[in-house]
Amino acid sequence: MKPQRPYLLRALYDWIVDSGEVPYVLVNAEVAGVVVPEEHIKDGQIVLNLSPDAVRDLMIDDSAVSCSGRFSGQAFNLYLPMASVSAIYCKDSTTGFAFPDEEFEVPERNTDPDPDDDKPTLRLV
């Protein structure tokens, strides 16, 4: 079966925002592929505010969470592989959910020297 975490994360995020609360995620910054500002990592973890007021272009798909945020006044593009997201919660009410361990597939890197060769093309018939 597919991992539950992306589905639960999306649902809990929507529920928290719709309830007027601020969604925070706890991220294991030691998972391969995590892109966060290193100066904000403490004990291998970082807590991020993912509210619509705090981030832009939030995307939660089956493999990762990505968005743009500001840290010390500087824009920063965040990338959180789904395996790195340990929990989501509301800071004020402390209501939330810690995700159980799950296995996630690591996406293969494209080793094709010319990735444009595989793009679909349209033709007039």
Domains of the chain listed by start with CATH number: 5-91 (2.30.30.220)
* Residue 60 scores a pLDDT above 50: yes
Residue scoring higher pLDDT (10 or 107): 10
* Residue 27 scores a pLDDT above 80: yes
- Per-residue pLDDT band for 91 (boundaries 50, 70, 90) equals confident
Residue scoring higher pLDDT (105 or 97): 97
Do 29 and 84 meet the contact criterion of CB atoms below 8 Å apart? yes
Do 17 and 24 meet the contact criterion of CB atoms below 8 Å apart? no
Q: Which helix (H) or strand (E) holds 88?
A: strand 85-90
pTM (2 d.p.): 0.79
- Residues 38 and 63: their CA atoms lie apart, in Å, by 22
Burial class of residue 25 in the structure, from the number of CB atoms within 10 Å of its CB (0-12 exposed, 13-18 middle, 19+ buried): buried
What mean pLDDT do residues 16-21 have? 94
